[in-house]
Amino acid sequence: GASASLVDLLGDLSMPAAAPPPPLPPARLVLTPAVVLDSATFQAQWGATGGSCSWSLPFASAVEPQPVVAALGAHDVKCMAFGTVGAAHKFYFYAQAQPLGAEPGALFLVELVLDMGARAARATLKSAAVNALPAFAEHLKRLVQQTIEPRL
């Protein structure tokens, strides 16, 4: 009767849709060593840039600022400034992705706080290139983790 045809109609509607194509793997993030940024531009970009993300990492033992600056610098993440405020080391870093064709490389800005009291590293990252930000955030997190983790 009528209910059987209704079931058939609903059955037709629930036909599985064609599977979407798998997403392309993200391009590997490559940072350029040639990036130069002055503090006024950094501050202006930091205030004007909407796209941001953050992460935090615990650490076990005291961390000195110089090895962090050196380790990130070795991977083309440049230090704009750093200093110690109370029990926290505060850093401002920047990096730029290699340009892709005619596209300029994405500029990334970072505030990293190593809180000695809480034994936590907290980073806030900003970039106008919102799509590239997660890959850079993960890259930076790995670099910081390798630097602050005690070597066994």
pLDDT the model gives residue 137? 96
pLDDT at 22: 52
pLDDT in tens, 100-110: 777 788 999 99
Residues of 59-93 as b/e, b for ≥16 C-beta within 10 angstroms?
beeebebeebbeebeeebbbbbebeeeeeebbbbb
Question: 66-102 pLDDT, tens per residue?
Answer: 999 999 999 999 999 999 999 999 999 999 998 877 7
Residues of the chain with pLDDT under 70: 1-27, 150-152
Domain 30-148 - what CATH class? alpha beta
Both tokens assigned to 59 = 């650490």
pLDDT of residue 104: 80
